[in-house]
Amino acid sequence: MKKLILCAAFAMVLGFASFAGAGCSPEEVQSKALAFTQAAQTKAQQAPAEYAEIMQELQPQLLKLQQEQNMDALCAFYDEALEKLK
């Protein structure tokens, strides 16, 4: 499941690169996605059970955002997800 989430996050960043007109830039989304990926990997190594619980909650939101292609919502998602992974 960890690899699926990380791949989905990376794919989402690449998919949003063309939406430059949003309040949250593609570069900002990419930076937040990278931070999210790193935090997820750390949490998976340090607390696998907690990681699994958090990712079960985040995965549906992430998939929804992929479909909506809303850069601002994606930035907000990464901000909230990073807080949960800390």
Walk along the chain (86 residues) in steps of 10 and give the mean pLDDT of each run. 55 48 81 95 96 95 87 94 94
Q: How many C-beta atoms lie closer than 10 Å to residue 42's C-beta?
A: 13
What pLDDT, on the 0 to 100 scale, is given for residue 41?
96
Indicate the number of domains in the chain: 1
- What is the value of pTM for the model shown? 0.72
- Give the Cα separation of 44 and 42 in Å (integer): 5
* Domain housing 56: 2-17+25-85
Give the count of beta carbons closer than 10 Å to the beta carbon of residue 70. 16
